[in-house]
Chain A
Amino acid sequence: MAELLQHLINGIAAGTIYALVALGYTMVYGVLKLINFAHGDVMMVGVYMGYATALALGRQAQSSAWGVLLIFLVAMGGCALMGFLIERFAYRPLREKPRLTALITAIGISFALSYGFQLDAFELKFRGLTLPIPLPGAAPRAFPQIIKPAAWFTLGDPEFPDVVLWNWQIISLLVAVGMMVALQYLVYRTRFGRAMRAVSFDHRVAALMGIPTDRIISLTFMIGSALAAGAGLLYAIKDTSVSPLMGLMVGLKAFVAAVIGGIGNVPGAVVGALLLGLVEEFVVGYAASTWRDAVAFGFLILVLLVRPGGLFGRVAAEKV
């Protein structure tokens, strides 16, 4: 029984991270119909920005409330800027090209980031100028504990508990649900959201109606990337390890979660992610750990067979 409860906590905690990453995925898809495969790697870059900020702050300041806020602000702001640049220079020139072109570009960016970040720091010399290029190198690093771990709930002997629930697990879940509500509000209750939906419906017609489509798309990307950075930091707090390849698998799993929930649908992404986290956890806990990924992706196929649009998605007839 205690074990079941612990598995439940673990599964929801894992699903929470998928949910946070999936939110950005699903929002960008909702507007652009572009699967931004670089999303997980933008997350990774955000984590490194947060890591650098935490190191610069030092051991004391990094775990103070202001320190944590600053770490999140730097990472999310930095990623928003990066999202803007990626959209402006990689995706916008391809907007009128076949969708596959942008998809391949996204995969390219994903690999450029995850492998570029495995290089060691070096100095670029150009006409007597030296520009340091601070890359982190391939070795995994330990992410500092900016949220001091505290067990908020234990069952059994408090020294060696049977079940533990940590503060960051609750915080992450609250952040994820909060983000979901905020995004839902943004998309359905604001002028900006209406413009997003119009661009999503048909960006050429939206432009004719006087909607600044470029700006809307840029902003969508910036919000999505900032979300990725926030998700990444919570992920790093949870699993304490940072490496350049950390974004690949999480990005893929979050994508699966978004598709399960119905890609483009905000609450769907969260539900899909929590489901995926729980399915993985219980497969490992009660079947065999080797089956985890196979079952996770098998679950995707199963959901799509029964509901091709995902759990919350609508299957729209293709306009001809």
Chain B
Amino acid sequence: MLLAAFALFAAACEKKTQPAPSGEGTQGGQAAQPATTGGTPGGSDTILLGEVGSLTGAQATFGVSTRNGIELALKEANAAGGVKGKKLAVRVYDDQGKPEEAAQAVTRLITQDKVVLILGEVASSNSLAMAEKAQAAGVPMITPSSTNPKVTEKGEYIFRVCFIDPFQGAVMARFARENLKADQVAILQDNKSAYSIGLTEVFQRTFAQLGGKVTATESYSQGDTDFRAQLTAIKKAKPQAIYVPGYYSDVGVIARQARELGLTVPLMGGDGWDSEKLFELAGNALVGSYFSNHYSPDNPDPKTQKFIADYKAAYGGVPDALAALGYDAAKVAIAAIEKAKDLSGPAIREAIAQTKDFPGVAGTVSLDKNRNAVKSAVILKVGDGKTEFVTTINP
């Protein structure tokens, strides 16, 4: 019976969207093979990069998308002859979405694998844990998509190629006030994530400055599945919109339960919503809701469209923002390694810090003196099974 049920499961299971690429990460932080064959890691003909991501765990699509983007960038660089006459390879460790695993993985990348540069993570809580170790060891780290400001504050070796939470939170507050004309909003934040708390703070402040009022602030813990108590309390506050700066894995369920309780106002969120899974989890409960993001697949820029086509060919499916940022982060890293006078930590760090007007697929990357990228954000509207581009908001 058990086996029969499992067999049914296999038959019924939707086809995995991503075919296993060569740099497949494995469970439990086990080492994966470098993405390119030939050459020992750290040997004379290979430059080894490190990557940490949540390949399993509740936010698994974050890690997998990022890995695909990075892999694509490396493949292109290697096809074009590599960097400094050497091939590039990446060593990927899975952190299961946990900060302590992420920190451990970084230590292993630095001491055991002797990587020249580290890429990762998506979740700010994990990047914070990693940044500590990378900074202490003097190994440059680029996070593709952690938006919490504290990440790059860890030190001069930590960079990012995305905007930061204050910007993202402010963008949404402005959109709610000016485009949605909302006077009263409620907030439902994820108490377990630095990302969600950071967005909430800025949103609250900006929205108040613009003359709006936050009538209720409730919180939940990542992984909860019953949000009815919070939503009932929010309902009493009669908001015109609800800001839910959480991750897609929770937001879908929140949206369904909000509708179930008769809360019909639009929800608003940040880039944590960005996943194909969101539509499955939310059903049609999120139709008409908005979130801020790093990029939109509808962007007509030929660079972006080429990336989308290449990504589709390699992995199937439209790349989400995390794949795009993973790709950009790897590109910035490769360009910096090419420019650096040698492969030492300080030399590469110096080269990354000078990144200016770098043409990324998710917007042009210029790093400011705090090592954060200055770039615009897009607002997307959730439709039936897809997102629609609404507007771009500049810094």
Residue positions of A touching B, CB distance < 8 A? 3, 6-7, 10-11, 13-14, 48-49, 51-53, 55-56, 74-75, 77-78, 81-82, 85, 115, 118-121, 132, 134, 136-142, 149, 160-162, 164, 166, 235, 238-241, 243, 245-246, 249, 280-281, 284-286, 288-290, 292-293
Contact = CB atoms under 8 A, between A and B. Distances in A.
A227 B233 CA distance: 33
Nearest to B55: A138
Of all A-B residue pairs in the complex, the 10 with the closest CB atoms, nearest first, are A134-B10, A52-B9, A55-B12, A284-B229, A239-B225, A49-B5, A138-B60, A10-B228, A138-B56, A78-B5
Contact of A162 (B56, B249, B262): B262
Given A10-B229, A239-B257, A289-B233, 9 more contacts: A10-B228, A85-B2, A121-B13, A134-B10, A138-B58, A139-B58, A141-B281, A241-B249, A245-B223
Contacts of B223: 243, 245, 249
Given A121-B13, A164-B262, A10 B27 contact: no
A220 B6 CA distance: 24
A56 B220 CA distance: 34
B344 interface: no
Interface of B: 1-2, 4-13, 16, 27, 56-58, 60-61, 96, 191, 218-221, 223-226, 228-230, 232-233, 235-236, 249, 252-253, 256-257, 260-262, 264, 277, 280-283
Contact of A289 (B5, B225, B230, B236): B230
From A52, A74, A288, residue with most partner B Cβ within 10 Å: A52
Contact of A6 (B8, B27, B261, B280): B261
A37 B236 CA distance: 38
B27 A115 contact: yes
B13 A164 contact: no
Contacts of A149: 260
Contacts of B221: 293
Interface centre among B229, B235, B256, B283 (most CB of A within 10 A): B229
Pick the most buried of B6, B219, B220, B236: most chain A CB atoms within 10 A of its CB. B6
B262 A138 contact: no
A118 B2 contact: no
Nearest to A46: B5
